[in-house]
């Protein structure tokens, strides 16, 4: 069986179709179909990762057409890891979200699962493909489904947030498409490896420079790098929580992956760092993104909104790290893709549990939450420690690589921003802990208020939340293995 | 200044798409009405489609259909010069891009209908005022 690479993407696509049809028969059926589709996808992604580690890069030719004519799925170590990350996060989230989907979008659960599966299909396709135009189409599939999903959320603000997201998303995708057009103009090819081979001969060309700038701006808009981030907080915090849990960790991270893929595979380090010498400017952009994201997070009064600004801050880490122009920085950026996806997922799982019980997560609603939802809060604390970067958790290790990379490149401002933002995150989360732990329930007059009753989220949500939070420590402990078996061989 | 005019005339397709794109971008940024913004978005996307279509064109070339390919007498002898045919690939790519842009437009229109049903207006400043009236969060 060597069709696993296609199966990763096709299983959720077919499941989306079936889940849409199954609603007519029985509402519950679409959930089981979605679970099955993502299960197959996760299994195939695992198989592919093992295959890539053992036998090297897989080139899967769609329908047997050889590149550069046909579309190729090219899966190397980086891809394989990202694919496994996406499919397993989507699968775990589905396990956790059965109850909250019924609660939030009860009349449209079938369409929720269909759009969810299509969204995951898009993300998986973006990570698997080796073709520039195919990448555009898949990015648009991902975006279109997330527009629809955001509108399914908050009935008052969802549609408007979604429409603003449409406008900015279209501008980003169009810039990318335009850049691909210029590349095609110059090289006559759309296959990434083929384009890279042709480009290595014509590095001085101004057409290639324009293509590079357009593509990078397009991708930055899509990943919400600081000045282009305005769509993200509203879109993510007004979407249904079951979707926010998967879009927040995955969407931006996959776009960072696309950026790194284009930098390494298509344009090449020599072109970016020696011919263009753009490193400094973009590392500054990353620095500003980190500081701005952290400061804006500090001013939020809603937990969901606060976390979305932390995503903006984390994007700065990865973009800055990738553009430092040395191996340590790139290692840190790639490791941070995995780690940040996991930590954001753990945070949003905990927030999902809170939303399930409390409906709103204004910081003032969280009083006494340690008493009411101890397990959820335990998961939340672990994830928060990881975002801050407390040593045994995985967040520490990627930050370590990033700081080492910053010192090697002499980008002290970037290292300073990393440390300052960690401090700000510590302030933020301890503010939340203080509200949740020390402030008792508002109506507790006198000394003898009754013991707090535990009102936890459903067991399925708790198990997933606990599992992911514990995995933060496990991934942290094994981060040396990940770096040595996956990232360093990839960068060589 | 004397160099500029030939440059514009020779590469008029690029100038045209840039101008169209900027018109679209202007409408998306500056217009107050959401439907006008949507129209701007569509112009923006169409400009890029025009760009792709124009780069496939060659002077004095014809559509890429080979005559007498099936069963004609001299089909086997005829030498095919690529230069005689325009490049079909950008056009085919744009079929996909058109589908994407139609889908985006459809989703955006549906969202606009939703917004109108909820707030009875599509003007952005009025929407902002209504949102303030609702209060901070749901």
| The predicted structure's pLDDT at residue B76 | 55
- Who contacts A153 (Cβ-Cβ below 8 Å, separation ≥6)? A104, A238, A239, A240, A243, A244
Residue A258 lies in a domain: no
Pick from A294, A278, A287: which is nearest to A414 by CA?
A287
pLDDT(A230) > 90? no
CB contact under 8 A, A167 and B100: no
Cβ-in-10-Å burial (0-12, 13-18, 19+) of B11 comes to: exposed
pLDDT(B1) > 70? no
> How many whole angstroms separate alpha carbon B21 and alpha carbon A490?
39
What is the Cα Rg of chain A in Å? 22
> How many whole angstroms separate alpha carbon B138 and alpha carbon B130?
13
- Given pLDDT bands bounded at 50, 70 and 90, which one contains residue B138? very low
Query: Could you tell me which chain A residue has the CA closest to the CA of B108?
Result: A163
**What sign does the CA torsion over A16, A22, A24, A29 have?**
negative
- Given pLDDT bands bounded at 50, 70 and 90, which one contains residue A392? confident
CB contact under 8 A, B51 and A181: yes
Closest by Cβ to B48, choosing from A159, A167, A178: A178
Residue B102 lies in a domain: yes
| The predicted structure's pLDDT at residue A443 | 52
CB contact under 8 A, A144 and B44: no
Q: Is A131 on the interface with B (CB under 8 A)?
A: no
- State the best of A151, A159, A164, A364 to mutate against chain B, taking most chain B CBs within 10 Å: A159
**What sign does the CA torsion over A428, A430, A433, A435 have?**
negative
Closest by Cβ to B37, choosing from A155, A167, A185: A167
Structure tokens at A206: 């101004």
Closest by Cβ to A178, choosing from B51, B108, B134: B51
Residue A97 lies in a domain: no
Domain count across chain A: 1
Structure tokens at A103: 């609660």
Residue B70 lies in a domain: no
Residue A415 lies in a domain: yes
CB contact under 8 A, B138 and A162: no
- State the best of A70, A160, A228 to mutate against chain B, taking most chain B CBs within 10 Å: A160
Residues in chain B within 8 Å Cβ distance of A187: none
Pick from A52, A471, A78: which is nearest to A253 by CA?
A78
| The predicted structure's pLDDT at residue A362 | 83
Q: Which of A4-8, A166-170, A362-366, A379-383 has the lowest average pLDDT?
A: A362-366
Q: Is A137 on the interface with B (CB under 8 A)?
A: yes
Residue A301 lies in a domain: yes
Percent of chain A with pLDDT over 70: 97
Residues in chain B within 8 Å Cβ distance of A156: 118, 131, 134, 138
Structure tokens at A246: 């998967």
> How many whole angstroms separate alpha carbon A405 and alpha carbon A322?
10
| Residue B112 Cα to chain centre, angstroms | 21
Cβ-in-10-Å burial (0-12, 13-18, 19+) of A154 comes to: buried
DSSP collapsed to 3 states, chain B? CCCHHHHHHHCHHHHHHHHHHHHHHHHHHHCCEHHHHHHHHHHHHHHHHHHHHHHCCCCCCECCCCCCCCCCCCCCCCCCCHHHECCCHHHHHHHHHHHHHHHHHHHHHHHHHHHHHHHCCCEHHHHHHHHHHHCCCC
CB contact under 8 A, B111 and A360: no
Structure tokens at A419: 């440390």
3-state secondary structure of A438: coil
Higher pLDDT, A223 or A447: A223
pLDDT(A445) > 70? no
- Who contacts A270 (Cβ-Cβ below 8 Å, separation ≥6)? A203
CB contact under 8 A, A157 and B131: yes
Distances (CA, A) of A348 to A366, A468, A469, B83: 15, 11, 11, 57
Closest by Cβ to A159, choosing from B55, B100, B118: B118
Q: How far is A52 from chain B (nearest CA, A)?
A: 31
Q: Please give the helix or strand (H or E) that residue A72 lies within, else none.
A: strand A72-75
- State the best of B107, B109, B133 to mutate against chain A, taking most chain A CBs within 10 Å: B107
Q: Is B45 on the interface with A (CB under 8 A)?
A: yes
Pick from B109, B131, B130: which is nearest to B37 by CA?
B109
> How many whole angstroms separate alpha carbon B19 and alpha carbon A295?
38
Q: Which of A8-12, A251-255, B69-73 has the lowest average pLDDT?
A: B69-73
Residue A358 lies in a domain: yes
| The predicted structure's pLDDT at residue A147 | 93
The answer to whether the beta carbons of residues A279 and A339 sit under 8 Å apart is no
| The predicted structure's pLDDT at residue A109 | 82
- Given pLDDT bands bounded at 50, 70 and 90, which one contains residue A91? very high
The residue-averaged pLDDT of A290-309 equals 91
| The predicted structure's pLDDT at residue A116 | 93
Residue B108 lies in a domain: yes
- Name the DSSP letter for residue A447: S
Residue A398 lies in a domain: yes
Q: Please give the helix or strand (H or E) that residue A61 lies within, else none.
A: strand A58-61
What are the backbone angles phi and psi of residue B57, rounded to the nearest 5°? -80, 140
Q: Is B107 on the interface with A (CB under 8 A)?
A: yes
Tell me what the pLDDT averaged over chain A comes to: 88
Closest by Cβ to A154, choosing from B52, B97, B138: B138
- Who contacts A470 (Cβ-Cβ below 8 Å, separation ≥6)? A382
Residue A303 lies in a domain: yes
Residue B69 lies in a domain: no
**Which ipTM score applies to this complex?**
0.90
What are the backbone angles phi and psi of residue B73, rounded to the nearest 5°? -65, -50
Structure tokens at A274: 């020696």
Q: What is the CATH number of the domain that holds B52?
A: 1.10.287.3510
pLDDT tens-digit series, residues B74-86? 555 556 777 788 8
Higher pLDDT, A447 or A190: A190
Angle between helices A158-187 and B89-119 (to 10 degrees): 170
| Alpha helices for A23-128 (secondary structure H) | 27-55, 77-104, 109-128
Task: Work out how many CB contacts closer than 8 A connect A with B.
Answer: 81
Structure tokens at A337: 């893709």
CB contact under 8 A, A160 and B127: yes
Q: Is A174 on the interface with B (CB under 8 A)?
A: yes
Strand partners, A72: A61
Residue A122 lies in a domain: no
- Name the DSSP letter for residue A363: G
Domain that holds residue A319: 280-443+452-492
- Given pLDDT bands bounded at 50, 70 and 90, which one contains residue A446? very low
Domain that holds residue B39: 4-63+81-134
Q: Is A454 on the interface with B (CB under 8 A)?
A: no
CB contact under 8 A, A170 and B44: yes
Residue B51 lies in a domain: yes
Residue B50 lies in a domain: yes
The residue-averaged pLDDT of B76-100 equals 82
CB atoms within 10 A of CB A327: 16
pLDDT(A287) > 50? yes
> In degrees to the nearest 10, what's the CA dihedral of A260, A262, A267, A269?
10
Pick from A244, A417, A292, A397: which is nearest to A334 by CA?
A397
CB contact under 8 A, A174 and B45: yes
| The predicted structure's pLDDT at residue B77 | 56
The answer to whether the beta carbons of residues A160 and A167 sit under 8 Å apart is no
Residues in chain A within 8 Å Cβ distance of B131: 156-157, 160
CB contact under 8 A, B28 and A171: yes
A454: alpha, beta or left? (left if phi > 0; alpha if psi -120 to 50): beta
pLDDT tens-digit series, residues B39-63? 999 999 999 999 999 988 888 888 8
Domain count across chain B: 1
> How many whole angstroms separate alpha carbon A258 and alpha carbon A237?
24
- State the best of A146, A155, A158, A170 to mutate against chain B, taking most chain B CBs within 10 Å: A170
């Amino acid at each position: 069986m060597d069709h696993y690479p296609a199966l990763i993407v096709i299983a959720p696509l077919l499941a989306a179709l079936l889940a849409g049809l199954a609603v007519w028969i029985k509402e519950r059926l679409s959930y089981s179909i979605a679970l099955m589709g993502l299960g197959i996808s996760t299994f195939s992604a695992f198989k592919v990762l093992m295959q890539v580690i053992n036998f090297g890069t897989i080139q899967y030719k769609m329908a047997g057409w050889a590149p550069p004519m046909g579309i190729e799925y090219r899966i190397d170590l980086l891809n394989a890891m990202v694919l496994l990350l996406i499919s397993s996060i989507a699968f775990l989230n589905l396990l956790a979200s059965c109850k909250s989907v019924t609660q939030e979008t009860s009349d449209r659960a079938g369409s929720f699962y269909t759009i969810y599966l299509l969204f995951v299909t898009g993300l998986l396709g973006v990570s698997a493909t080796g073709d520039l135009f195919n990448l555009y189409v898949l990015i648009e599939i991902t975006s279109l489904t997330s527009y629809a999903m955001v509108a399914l959320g908050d009935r008052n603000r969802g549609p408007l947030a979604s429409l603003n997201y449409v406008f900015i998303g279209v501008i980003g995708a169009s810039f990318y498409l335009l850049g691909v057009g210029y590349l095609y103009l110059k090289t006559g090819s759309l296959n990434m490896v083929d384009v890279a081979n042709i480009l290595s001969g014509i590095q001085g060309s101004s057409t290639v420079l324009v293509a590079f700038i357009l593509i990078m701006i397009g991708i930055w808009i899509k990943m919400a790098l600081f000045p282009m981030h305005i769509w993200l907080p509203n879109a993510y915090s007004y979407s249904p929580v079951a979707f926010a849990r998967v879009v927040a960790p995955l969407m931006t991270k996959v776009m960072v992956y696309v950026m790194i893929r284009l930098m390494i595979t298509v344009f090449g380090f020599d072109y970016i760092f020696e011919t263009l010498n753009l490193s400094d400017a973009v590392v500054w952009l990353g620095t500003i993104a980190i500081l701005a994201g952290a400061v804006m997070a500090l001013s939020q009064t809603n937990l969901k909104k606060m976390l979305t600004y932390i995503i903006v801050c984390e994007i700065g880490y990865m973009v800055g790290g990738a553009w430092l122009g040395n191996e340590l920085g790139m290692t840190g950026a790639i490791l941070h893709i995995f780690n940040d996806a996991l930590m954001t997922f753990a945070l949003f799982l905990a927030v999902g549990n809170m939303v399930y019980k409390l409906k709103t997560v204004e910081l003032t609603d969280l009083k006494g939450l340690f008493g009411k939802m101890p397990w959820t809060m335990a998961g939340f604390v672990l994830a928060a420690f990881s975002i801050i970067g407390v040593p045994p958790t995985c967040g520490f290790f990627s930050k370590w690589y990033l700081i080492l990379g910053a010192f090697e490149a002499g980008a002290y401002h970037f290292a300073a921003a990393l440390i300052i933002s960690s401090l700000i995150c510590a302030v933020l989360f301890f503010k939340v802990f203080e509200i949740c732990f020390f402030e008792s329930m508002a109506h507790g007059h006198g000394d003898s208020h009754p013991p707090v009753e535990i009102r936890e989220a459903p067991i399925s949500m708790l198990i997933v939340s606990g599992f992911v939070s514990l995995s933060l420590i496990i991934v942290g402990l094994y981060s040396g293995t990940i770096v040595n078996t996956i990232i360093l061989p990839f960068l060589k | 200044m004397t160099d500029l005019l030939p440059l514009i005339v020779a590469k008029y397709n690029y100038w045209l798409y840039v101008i169209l794109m900027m018109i679209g971008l202007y409408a998306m940024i500056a217009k107050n009405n959401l439907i006008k913004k949507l129209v701007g978005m569509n112009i923006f996307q169409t400009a890029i489609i025009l760009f792709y279509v124009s780069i496939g064109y060659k002077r004095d070339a014809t559509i890429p259909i080979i005559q007498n390919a099936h069963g004609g007498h001299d089909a086997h002898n005829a030498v095919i010069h690529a230069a005689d045919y325009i490049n079909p690939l950008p056009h085919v790519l744009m079929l996909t891009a058109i589908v994407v842009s139609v889908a985006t437009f459809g989703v955006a229109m549906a969202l606009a209908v939703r917004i109108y049903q909820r707030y009875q207006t599509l003007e952005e400043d009025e929407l902002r005022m209504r949102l303030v009236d609702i209060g901070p969060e749901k």
